[in-house]
């Protein structure tokens, strides 16, 4: 079955960066766009952007442009999201979520990884 596996947690200091991984299995990794969505504690969902694993093209929400980089390693079917210049406002669970349509972004998300809690604290 399709699975997206993420590390459980990361702790970072303000000003640092974090790189979250998302290992995919059960499908052809390069066939589906991968999205990243975050959720601050007790809050709603915020879409950050997508990467096309086939070629590496990216599209970021304007809020994160200049501060986020999404990459992938097709040899190990893994997508990455790196966020720079962290502040306490970046404390959140970061999810990867596969697009539902092969070949182009349909912009529905299914399935989701289990999430990585990134805590930014001095």
Partner 1 sequence: EVVLTQSPATLSLSPGERATLSCRASQSIDTYYLAWYQQKPGQAPRLLIYDTSNRATGIPARFSGSGSGTDFTLTISSLEPEDFAVYYCQQRTNWPISFGQGTKLEIK
Distance CA 113, CA 36 (A): 10
Distance CA 64, CA 42 (A): 21
C-beta closer to partner 1: residue 69 or 100? 100
C-beta closer to partner 1: residue 80 or 112? 112
C-beta closer to partner 1: residue 27 or 112? 112
- CB of residue 15 to partner 1, shortest distance in Å: 25
Distance CA 59, CA 64 (A): 10
3-state secondary structure of 26: coil
- CB of residue 89 to partner 1, shortest distance in Å: 17
- CB of residue 45 to partner 1, shortest distance in Å: 4
- CB of residue 25 to partner 1, shortest distance in Å: 16
Please say whether the beta carbons of 5 and 113 come within 8 A.
yes
Binding site residues, partner 1, CB under 8 A: 44-47, 61-63, 95, 97, 100, 106-115
Edge-first strand order for the sheet with 18-25 is 3-5, 18-25, 78-83, 68-73
C-beta closer to partner 1: residue 73 or 106? 106
């Amino acid at each position: 079955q399709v699975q997206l596996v993420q590390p459980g947690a990361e702790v970072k200091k303000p000003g640092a960066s974090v790189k979250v991984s998302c290992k995919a299995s059960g499908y052809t990794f390069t066939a589906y766009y991968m999205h990243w969505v975050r959720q601050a504690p007790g809050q709603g969902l915020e879409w950050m952007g997508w990467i096309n694993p086939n070629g590496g093209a990216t599209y970021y929400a304007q809020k994160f442009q200049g501060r986020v980089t999404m990459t992938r390693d097709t040899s190990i079917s893994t997508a990455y999201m790196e966020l720079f210049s962290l502040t306490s406002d970046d404390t959140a669970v970061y999810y990867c979520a596969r697009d539902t349509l092969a070949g182009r972004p349909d912009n529905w998300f299914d399935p989701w990884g289990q999430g990585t809690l990134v805590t930014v604290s001095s």
